[in-house]
Amino acid sequence: MTTKREFLLRSPMFVPAFNRRYIDKAILSDADALILDVEDSVPLENKQEAREILADYFSRGVFRDRQVFIRINALETSDFVADMEQLVFEDLDGYMPPKIHCAQDLVLVDNQLTLIERKHGYPNGKFVLAPLIESAAAIVHINEIAHASSRLIALCFGGEDYLDSMQSAYTHLTPAFIYPRNAIAIAARSAGLLPIDTPYLEISDAEGFMEEEREMYKMGFAGCLLLNPKQIELAHQAFSPLPEEIEHAEGVVAAIEEAMTRGTGMAVFKGIAIGPPMRKLALKVLAQRDLIQRLAVKRG
> Other C-beta atoms within 10 Å of 114: how many?
14
- Average pLDDT of the residues in 214-223: 96
Q: With a cut of 90, say whether residue 218 has pLDDT above it.
A: yes
Binning pLDDT at 50, 70 and 90, where does residue 298 land?
low
- Average pLDDT of the residues in 253-281: 83
Q: Which residues contact 110 (CB under 8 A, 6 or more apart)?
A: 129, 148, 149, 151
Q: With a cut of 80, say whether residue 296 has pLDDT above it.
A: no
Structure confidence at residue 138 (pLDDT): 97
Please state, rounded to an integer, the average pLDDT across all residues of the chain. Answer: 92
Binning pLDDT at 50, 70 and 90, where does residue 3 land?
very low
Structure confidence at residue 1 (pLDDT): 41
Structure confidence at residue 268 (pLDDT): 85
Structure confidence at residue 141 (pLDDT): 97
pLDDT digits (tens, 9 = 90+) for 34-76: 999 999 999 999 999 999 999 999 999 999 989 999 999 999 9
* % residues pLDDT > 70 (the chain): 96
- Asked whether the CA dihedral 114, 117, 121, 126 is positive or negative, the reply is negative
Question: Whole-angstrom Cα distance, residue 209 to residue 231?
Answer: 8
Which helix (H) or strand (E) segment holds residue 268: the answer is: strand 267-269
Q: With a cut of 80, say whether residue 265 has pLDDT above it.
A: no
pLDDT digits (tens, 9 = 90+) for 110-129: 999 999 999 999 999 999 99
Q: With a cut of 90, say whether residue 195 has pLDDT above it.
A: yes
Interstrand relation of 33-37 and 223-224 (parallel, antiparallel or unpaired): unpaired
Interstrand relation of 154-157 and 194-197 (parallel, antiparallel or unpaired): parallel
* Contact status, residue 65 vs residue 300, Cβ threshold 8 Å: yes
* % residues pLDDT > 90 (the chain): 74
User: Could you tell me the strand order of the sheet in which 94-96 lies?
Assistant: 12-16, 33-37, 67-71, 94-96, 128-129
Give 37's DSSP letter: E
Q: With a cut of 60, say whether residue 2 has pLDDT above it.
A: no
pLDDT digits (tens, 9 = 90+) for 120-160: 999 999 999 999 999 999 999 999 999 999 999 999 999 99
Structure confidence at residue 82 (pLDDT): 96
| DSSP-derived secondary structure for 195-247 | EEEPPPS-TT-HHHHHHHHHHHHHHT--EE-BSSGGGHHHHHHHTS--HHHHH
Q: With a cut of 80, say whether residue 10 has pLDDT above it.
A: yes
* Contact status, residue 188 vs residue 195, Cβ threshold 8 Å: yes
